[in-house]
Structure formats: structure tokens, C-alpha cells
């Protein structure tokens, strides 16, 4: 039998996939290591930009810290399923920012410590990404 080689485009695609997976793992590790600090900054940014109103800032910070730690151990499928409704929101999105945006829109809004959530999906994403963008590798 002759050798079977992969077409050039498959090699390129494989290299791109490996790079994305490496970046994804790196981002999740940084999120986990800096969960408390990033959560504090995120909640403050959400409050400063009047995206959320809350009766208990510390409880919301704890929610985001726990979510950040949990996110680093989630399966890729679960993350992709959660962000599916927002995948087309921006070009080249930060998947962690998308996940947290969807969390705010779907679940945080129902929390008894939240009085209200303001802004559309894009506004919420931009505020969240302004904090979470620091863990994204620069190309």
C-alpha cells in the first residue's frame, strides 16, 4: 500500500485548531488563577457602567468567582452550548466573555440579589470583555 498524506489544507487547519485549543486552555487557566481578582473587577465594571443593580455586591462577586472556577473545568460542549445564542454577536469573540454575557442575560437576572440588568447583549458583552480581554493571548 502506498503512503497516504494529508492535503496541505488539512495540515494548516490542524495547526490552527491546535493553536486555538492551546489559547483556550491558557485562557481558562488564567481565569481560574485570577478568578477572585477578575470577578471583583467585573462586578465593579458592571456597576460603574450601570449594567446591573444589586443589593449585595459581595454576593455577586462570589457568584462570578465560583462561576470562573467552575468554567475552567467545564467540557467544551457545555461551553459551546451555552454561548450558541450569542456566537454571532461580534467578530472574533472571546468565548469567556460570551459565556459570562449569556450567564448575566439568562441566569444572573433571576438572582434575588439583582434588582435589574440593563443594556442589550452587545453592551453587556463589551463591558464584560473590557475586563476579560486581559486573559486573551495577543496575536
pLDDT at residue 139, rounded to an integer? 62
Q: Does a structural domain hold residue 113?
A: yes
Number of structural domains, the chain? 1
Q: Does a structural domain hold residue 92?
A: yes
Would you place residue 23 in the very low, low, confident or very high pLDDT band (cuts 50, 70, 90)?
confident
Stretch 43-55: mean pLDDT = 96
Whose CA is closest to 84, among 99, 67, 97? 99
- pLDDT (tens digit per residue) in 78-93: 999 999 999 999 998 9
Separation between Cα atoms, residue 65 and residue 69, nearest integer Å:
6
Stretch 116-130: mean pLDDT = 96
Q: Evaluate whether 65 touches 39 at the Cβ level (below 8 Å).
A: yes
Q: Does a structural domain hold residue 23?
A: no
Q: Which residue has the cell 477578575?
A: 38
Whose CA is closest to 121, among 109, 111, 137? 109
Q: Does a structural domain hold residue 17?
A: no
Q: Evaluate whether 110 touches 137 at the Cβ level (below 8 Å).
A: no
Res 7 pLDDT > 60:
no
Q: Does a structural domain hold residue 44?
A: yes
Residues contacting 136, CB < 8 A, separation 6+: 23, 27, 94
Domain residues for the domain of 113 are 36-135
Q: Does a structural domain hold residue 100?
A: yes
Q: Does a structural domain hold residue 69?
A: yes
Amino acid at each position: 500500500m502506498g503512503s497516504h498524506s494529508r492535503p496541505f489544507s488539512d495540515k494548516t487547519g490542524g495547526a490552527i485548531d491546535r493553536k486555538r485549543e492551546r489559547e483556550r486552555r491558557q485562557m481558562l487557566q488564567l481565569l481560574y488563577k485570577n478568578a477572585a481578582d477578575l470577578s471583583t473587577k467585573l462586578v465593579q465594571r458592571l456597576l460603574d457602567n450601570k449594567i446591573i443593580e444589586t443589593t449585595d455586591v459581595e454576593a455577586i462577586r462570589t457568584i462570578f468567582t465560583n462561576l470562573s472556577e467552575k468554567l475552567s473545568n467545564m467540557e467544551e460542549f457545555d461551553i459551546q452550548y451555552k454561548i450558541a445564542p450569542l456566537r454571532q454577536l461580534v467578530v472574533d469573540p472571546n468565548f469567556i466573555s460570551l459565556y459570562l454575557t449569556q450567564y448575566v442575560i439568562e441566569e444572573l437576572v433571576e438572582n434575588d440579589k439583582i434588582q435589574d440588568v440593563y443594556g442589550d447583549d452587545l453592551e453587556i458583552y463589551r463591558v464584560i470583555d473590557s475586563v476579560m480581554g486581559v486573559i486573551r493571548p495577543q496575536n
